[in-house]
Each structure stands twice: as structure tokens, then as C-alpha cells.
Amino acid sequence: MTKERIQKALARQGLGSRRQIERLIELGEIKLNDKIAQLGDHVQAGDVVLHGGRKIIIREITNHPPKVIMYHKPEGEVCTTSDPEGRPTIFDHLPPIRYGRWIAVGRLDLNTSGLILLTDNGELANKLMHPSSIIEREYAVRVLGTVTEDILKKITHGVELEDGPARFEEVVDSGSEGMGANHWYHVVLMEGRNREVRRIWEAVDLKVSRLMRVRYGPIILNKSQRVGQFRELPDKKVIELAALVGLHYEIDEQAVTEKQPIKSHRKIVNKKQGSYQRGKTRDR
């Protein structure tokens, strides 16, 4: 049987990043086969790991694509597994998973809706979130106020935020709402800093009244996927996504034939969503 370092195996099965797991091992919080785990330990399929009362059975190493689901997050949900204030979380209605756990690829704040990817593979999740991966994130944003050509130039060339300079790679005019002062744009970022879209607009004295993420790399939130609904990505899409961050998987045709797909699910959420369609491109 193939052996691998315990932190790599546990990251693969979704316990956390390798660095996080190494810290847990240093604190003596992980047991391997009823003994306190050490950083140099290797594991193989069938070994039993205990952490915080949770039992994890090490799975065989495969090169098959991991599970990835896309979730249409509504406003009002938080992106943590539990919330001390009792607010609903994105994990409340996800499908059960036999091994490991669902890991969110990045976060959206409480008042932001749209696309969240989740996977059962810690290595894939961490690589997709790492700043060095430089993956496009696209948002539909409703702005209150007048956006001039000078403002468009500033937000695409760079504004100064408290945690450093930031800019949109692209800004697309998606039209207005009736005769009001609200106007929709689609914007593209290459990173995922906290509240970055809102803060860029605030830096030019404009307020964001609605915000929705509609794309993460090659994965697009389709208009047919309603609020609160999740869908499993097909293996070919997972392979395409993973290739962006240097991970390579192969489709096991027999596994595809036997695989039981995760059924789509939608909670009832009475939220009206903005259009996902782009309008004509504006000059930067």
C-alpha cells in the first residue's frame, strides 16, 4: 500500500490545510491508531485518525477528481460551519458527505449572494484560494450614483485601500434599473480580499446596494440555478478547474458509470435576484 505523510493525507481528506494540520499535531490534538501523532508519521489506507472526537479513516490515494459542488448563496447566510449569533450558514442544507467534510473555496460576506464552490479535497480548496493562483472572480454589482469615465479609469487602474492597492481587471456596463439612480455593472477581480469589491467602489465615493458573485474561474453561476440550490460539477469541469492551480486528475470510466450523483436541492428563499447578463463593454 502507498504511504504518505499524515498532514498531506488529512489535508487531502478535508481536515484543513497542511499547515493547520501540522499545528494540530504539534499541539498533540491528533491521534494515529490510538497514539499521539508526530510530524514525521506516515499513513496508509485503513489507518484511523482521531481529532476532537471525530474518527477519520485514511482512504487510498487515487488520481480521481474530488467532489466539487456549486452553491447559490442567498443574502443573510454566513460562510462558517457554525455561527455564535445563530444565523443560518451555507453548510446548513448541503448534501451529506461520507468521508471528510465540505470546504468552502473562499467566502462571501453576509450581504453578498451568488456563487460559492465547495469541495471535499483540502488541497484543491487551498490552492484555489491561494493568492498565487490568480483566478478571476466575476461579480454583478448594483451601484448607487453616477459612474463617470474618470471613476472607471480610477477603479481599473488602481485605488488605495487600507490593505494595499486594488483594482478591477474589467468593468462592464450592464444597464440601469428603470429611471432610478441604481446601475448594474459586472466587474472582475484576480484576488479575494475581504469586502474588496465594496471597498473599491467606496474609495471613489460610490455605494454598492447589491452584490452577487457570478463566476469563479471557469465556473459560471447559471440563471437556472436558483437561490439556495446546489449542483455537483461533472468530473470534466472539476479537472478543468483543478488544472488552473496545477492539480491533475484523471477520469475513471468505471467510477463514472457507478457514481451516484448528488441531487440538486433548493431551499425556499424569497429573494429577488438581479440579472446575470452582461451589457456592452465600457472603456477602461
Which residues are tagged catalytic?
109
Question: How many CA atoms does the CB half-sphere of 191 hold within 13 Å?
Answer: 13
Half-sphere exposure of residue 28, counting CA atoms within 13 Å on the CB side? 1
Residue 10: exposed, middle, or buried by beta-carbon count in 10 A (0-12, 13-18, 19+)? buried
Nearest to 103 by CA among 64, 132, 129: 129
Output the DSSP codes for the chain.
Answer: ---EEHHHHHHHTTS--HHHHHHHHHTT-EEETTEE--TT-EE-TT-EEEETTEEEEPPPP--SPPPEEEEEEPTT-BSSS--TT---BTTTTPPP-SSS--EEES---TT-EEEEEEES-HHHHHHHHSGGG---EEEEEEEES---HHHHHHHHH-EEETTEEE--SEEEEEEE-TTSSEEEEEEEESS--TTHHHHHHHHTT-EEEEEEEEEETTEE--TTS-TTEEEEPPHHHHHHHHHTTT------HHHHHH--PPPPEE-------------PBPP-
